Chains A and B, each alone.
Chain A
Amino acid sequence: MSNTLIIPEILRAVASHLDPPDLLACIQVCRLWHKILLLTLWHTIDDRKYAWPTILSLYDSEDSLGEQDESWLRYIFSKHGHLVRHLTITWKILIDITSDSDSSCNNVQVLSTYDVSDNITEEEEREERWHSNQTMGQAATKYRPGNPTAQTGRILSPLFEGMLTPLKANDRTPNQQRRDWETVQRFWMLIQRNSSLRSLRLDGGFNRLCTIKDPQFVYEILGSLLQLCELENNVVALDRQRLLDLLPGLQTYQTAFSE
């Protein structure tokens, strides 16, 4: 091999012009290229792109290939998660995986979330259909007006005690509501473990999973992000001045809430 392609900075400069599919080919070329370029490949993870939607929709499904089940996904994030710097999440299960104690996703600098309430796995879909078949039968016989009781799940940390309100929702199964309740907490725990975050986008879609009754824990968690300079917040109304006092390095703050 030419001397040139052995030099890490040059190989990386070449790789900076390549997309993940080509980077995937590159890391299979030889040990040296794998060593140098693995971090280029894992630098940016966007679950809307490449094979992520397929992989995530099949998560935990009987249809998923053996390698693409839950333990495989947790495994790859425990092995490579620490390389991720830019993370874009639109799937709830990715929140669950990246926030897991085994995951090594602690070095994220840019975290963006978009509506996570939409993407459901095939397994969840099946569960929903089964559930709605059941309840349809019930509704016909019992004529029950109004919403069913909202479900809560476990509280995963004292930080969240009393801070969240479950959301009543006809269109989600009780199981799903319990999971969603936990997903929201896991999301905030993911933020908490990534103390070098510079840019954060909080999507309003989380409010379709459960709502924040008391944003005290939000201030606490955001306040620990000493390198945060960009924040887009569409999840809960926050006091701008209080934020600026907590985060003197904050340069941009955008919010959907009127102040």
Chain B
Amino acid sequence: MTVILVSSDNQDFKVDKEVAERSILIKNMLEDVGESDSPIPLPNVTAAVLTKVIEYCEHHRNDPIQVPEETDDPRKRSNDIEEWDMKFMQVDQEMLFEIILAANYLDIKPLLDVGCKTVANIIKGKTPEEIRKAFNIVNDFTPEEEAQIKKENEWAEDR
């Protein structure tokens, strides 16, 4: 069974139902719509990004569906990204963020995870100034404020 997904720039993508349903949003939509063949519009995702998302879902079509973890602990355990995913994520920063946004909107948790881990890996080991440079962020702290924050949270330093 195939479904048709339509990107925000009106490009049609024919995809196996099984692959499309890696997106919980699409899965739920298909359940609601029932037997209808109508294409599914995705107004938040451009063709370029949708191409990447579909590529990911096809490669991972046989992965077991992740059950949401019971824990509320924001610290997750594993930080390794498998090789195919690593190569898949070698895109420019703009595309990386677009993929994350799309994965969030489409509710594809494994893809969101990989995207977030990739961004986290960019951040690791960097000073605040290096992080700002990496993501083009303006520093809106005064030097005194920044020093105060650093002092108050000094316990987190790796000593």
Known: A26-B123, A28-B141. A17 touches B79 (CB 8 A): yes
Cα–Cα, bound, A21→B123 (Å): 11
Main secondary structure of the interface of A (DSSP, over half): helix
Cβ-defined contact, A40 with B159, below 8 A: no
Cβ-defined contact, B112 with A13, below 8 A: yes
Cβ-defined contact, A27 with B153, below 8 A: yes
- Asked if B88 is at the interface of the complex by the 8 Å CB criterion, the answer is no
Cβ-defined contact, B128 with A44, below 8 A: no
Query: In angstroms, how far is the closest chain A Cβ from the Cβ of B134?
Result: 10
Among listed A48-56, A185-193, A208-216, interface-contacting one: A48-56
Query: Which residue of the partner chain, among A3, A24, A25, A43, contacts B74 with CB atoms under 8 Å?
Result: A43
Q: Which of B84-127 contact A (CB under 8 A)?
A: 93-94, 97-98, 100-101, 104, 112-113, 116-117, 119-120, 123-127
- Asked if B83 is at the interface of the complex by the 8 Å CB criterion, the answer is no
Among listed A29-37, A126-134, A153-161, A250-258, interface-contacting one: A29-37
In the assembled complex, which residues on chain B have CB atoms less than 8 Å from the CB atom of A34?
141, 149
In the assembled complex, which residues on chain A have CB atoms less than 8 Å from the CB atom of B158?
21, 50-51
Cβ-defined contact, A50 with B152, below 8 A: no
- Asked if A147 is at the interface of the complex by the 8 Å CB criterion, the answer is no
- Asked if B67 is at the interface of the complex by the 8 Å CB criterion, the answer is no
* Interface 1/0 per residue, A1-40 and B, CB below 8 Å: 1111101011011111111111111111111011000001
Cβ-defined contact, B137 with A1, below 8 A: yes
Contact-residue bracket for chain B = 35 or more
Cβ-defined contact, A25 with B93, below 8 A: no
- Asked if B138 is at the interface of the complex by the 8 Å CB criterion, the answer is yes
- Asked if A41 is at the interface of the complex by the 8 Å CB criterion, the answer is yes
Query: Which residue of the partner chain, among B73, B117, B157, contacts A24 with CB atoms under 8 Å?
Result: B157
Interface size on A, residues (CB 8 A): 47
Q: Which interface residue of A2, A26, A50 has the most chain B CB atoms within 10 A?
A: A2
Query: Which residue of the partner chain, among A18, A51, A79, contacts B157 with CB atoms under 8 Å?
Result: A51
In the assembled complex, which residues on chain B have CB atoms less than 8 Å from the CB atom of A68?
154
- Asked if A67 is at the interface of the complex by the 8 Å CB criterion, the answer is yes
- Asked if A237 is at the interface of the complex by the 8 Å CB criterion, the answer is no
In the assembled complex, which residues on chain A have CB atoms less than 8 Å from the CB atom of B128?
25-26, 28-29
Q: Which residue of B lies closest to A16 (CB)?
A: B74
- Asked if B140 is at the interface of the complex by the 8 Å CB criterion, the answer is yes
15 A-B residue contacts at CB 8 Å? A2-B97, A4-B97, A5-B119, A7-B104, A10-B104, A10-B116, A14-B123, A16-B116, A17-B116, A28-B146, A29-B131, A30-B137, A43-B75, A68-B154, A76-B152
Q: Which residues of A contact B (CB under 8 A)?
A: 1-5, 7, 9-10, 12-31, 33-34, 40-41, 43-45, 50-52, 54-55, 67-68, 76, 79-80, 85-86
